[in-house]
C-alpha cells in the first residue's frame, strides 16, 4: 500500500507526458505532410448575372447560339408531340392544303371561273396554299408558345427568343412534306420548273422571317393580354383573303396600277406570288411587289425583336 501510494502519482504523470509528446509528434508529422502536398486550388464558381435590358436594341444573339441545343430539343419535341398517337401521322401536313385546294378548285375555279395566270387550277391553288399553310400554322403556334411554356419560364432562365424561333422552325417539317407533294402535282401537269427555282430558298427565308416577325409581336401581346389568342383565327382568316391565295395579284395591279405597290405591304403577297412564279414560271416575276414585301418583313422582324426582348423581363411575372 505504501509503495503504491508512493509511485502511482509519478507513473501517472510520466504516462501523461509521454502521451502528450506522441500527440505533438503526430501533429507535427501531419503538418509536415500537408506542407509537402501541393495545395488543391478549386476553380472559381461561375456567376451569371441576369439583368433587364437597358436599351431597345440588345438582342442576345450570342446567348441564343449558346442555347442552340435547347432550341434543337424544343423543335424536335414539337414535331414529336404534333404527330404522337395520330391515326395517319405526318399525312396531316398535306391533308389540310389538299382539302382546301379541292374546295377552291370546285367553287372558285370551276364555278366562279377566277383567273389563274394560265395555270391549272389545282397547281395554282396548291402553289399558294403550301407557303400560306406554313405561315398560318407557324403564326398560331408562335402566338401561344410563351403562355404554353409558363411553367418552364418561371423555373429556369434561358433566352425567351428560343420559344418563338422553335415554333417557326418546327413548321418547316410540314412545309417540306407539302412541298414534295406540290412538286409531284406540278410534274403531273407536265410543268417542269426552270432556273426560277433558284429563288425558292430566298422566298422560303422570307416566309420564315414573316412568320417569326409577326409571331414575336403576337406572342408578347398574348402574354400581356390573354384575349389575343381569341382574335387570331379572325386575323389569319382575314389575312388569307388579303393575300393572293385564291386569286392572282394581277387582278389588283390591273384594277389599281398606280397603287399596286401598296398591296406589297402585305408581306405574304410577295412570298406567295414569288413562290408560284419560281415553281411554275407563270405569274409576276420578282419586282416592285416583292421589294415592298421584303421591306415590310424587315420592319416587322426588327420591330418584333425589339418589342419582344423589351418585354422579356416582365413575361415571367405575367404568364
Radius of gyration of the chain (CA): 34
How confident is the model at residue 167, as a pLDDT?
92
Looking at residue 92, what is its pLDDT? 75
Q: What is the pLDDT of residue 98?
A: 87
Spatial contact of 145 and 164, defined as CB atoms under 8 Å apart: yes
What pLDDT, in 10s, does the model give residues 134-152?
Answer: 999 999 999 988 888 877 7
Express each pLDDT in 86-95 by its tens digit. Answer: 666 677 777 8
| pLDDT for the residue 40 | 59
Q: What is the 3-state secondary structure (H, E, C) of the chain?
A: CHHHHHHHHHHHHHHHHHHHHHHHHHHHHHHHHHHHCCCCCCCCCCCCCCCCCCCCCCCCHHHHHHCHHHHHHHHHHHHHHHCCCCCCHHHHHHHHHHHHHHHHHHHHHHHCCCCCCCCCHHHHHHHHHHHHHHHHHHHHHHHHHHHHCHHHHCCCCCCCCHHHHHHHHHCHHHHHHHHHHHHHHHHHCCCCCCHHHHHHHHHHHHHHHHHHHHHHHHHHHHHHCCCHHHHHHHHHHHHHHCCCCCCCCHHHHHHCHHHHHHHCCCHHHHHHHHHHHHHHCCCCCCCHHHHHHHHHHHHHHHHHHHHHHHHHHHHHHHC
The segments of the chain whose pLDDT lies below 50 read 1-5, 7-8, 11-12, 14-15, 17, 19, 23, 26, 29-35, 37
Amino acid at each position: 500500500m505504501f509503495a503504491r501510494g508512493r509511485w502511482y502519482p509519478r507513473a501517472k504523470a510520466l504516462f501523461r507526458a509521454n502521451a502528450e509528446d506522441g500527440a505533438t509528434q503526430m501533429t507535427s508529422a501531419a503538418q509536415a505532410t500537408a506542407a509537402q502536398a501541393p495545395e488543391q486550388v478549386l476553380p472559381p464558381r461561375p456567376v451569371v448575372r441576369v439583368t433587364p435590358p437597358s436599351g431597345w436594341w440588345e438582342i442576345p444573339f450570342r446567348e441564343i447560339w449558346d442555347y442552340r441545343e435547347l432550341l434543337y430539343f424544343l423543335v424536335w419535341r414539337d414535331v414529336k408531340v404534333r404527330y404522337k398517337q395520330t391515326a395517319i401521322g405526318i399525312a396531316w401536313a398535306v391533308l389540310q392544303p389538299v382539302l382546301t385546294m379541292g374546295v377552291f378548285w370546285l367553287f372558285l375555279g370551276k364555278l366562279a371561273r377566277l383567273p389563274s395566270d394560265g395555270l391549272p387550277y389545282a397547281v395554282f391553288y396548291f402553289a399558294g396554299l403550301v407557303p400560306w399553310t406554313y405561315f398560318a400554322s407557324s403564326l398560331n403556334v408562335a402566338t401561344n408558345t410563351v403562355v404554353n411554356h409558363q411553367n418552364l419560364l418561371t423555373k429556369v432562365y434561358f433566352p425567351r427568343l428560343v420559344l418563338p424561333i422553335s415554333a417557326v422552325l418546327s413548321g418547316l417539317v410540314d412545309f417540306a412534306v407539302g412541298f414534295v407533294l406540290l412538286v409531284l402535282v406540278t410534274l403531273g401537269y407536265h410543268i417542269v420548273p426552270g432556273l426560277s427555282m433558284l429563288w425558292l430558298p430566298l422566298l422560303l427565308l422570307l416566309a420564315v422571317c414573316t412568320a417569326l416577325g409577326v409571331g414575336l409581336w403576337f406572342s408578347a401581346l398574348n402574354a400581356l393580354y390573354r384575349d389575343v389568342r381569341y382574335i387570331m383565327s379572325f386575323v389569319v382568316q382575314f389575312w388569307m383573303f388579303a393575300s393572293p391565295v385564291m386569286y392572282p395579284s394581277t387582278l389588283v395591279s390591273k384594277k389599281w396600277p398606280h397603287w399596286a405597290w401598296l398591296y406589297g405591304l402585305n408581306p405574304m403577297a410577295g412570298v406567295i406570288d414569288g413562290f408560284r412564279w419560281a415553281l411554275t414560271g407563270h405569274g409576276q416575276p420578282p419586282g416592285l411587289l416583292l421589294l415592298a414585301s421584303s421591306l415590310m418583313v424587315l420592319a416587322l422582324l426588327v420591330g418584333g425583336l425589339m418589342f419582344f426582348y423589351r418585354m422579356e423581363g416582365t413575361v415571367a411575372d405575367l404568364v
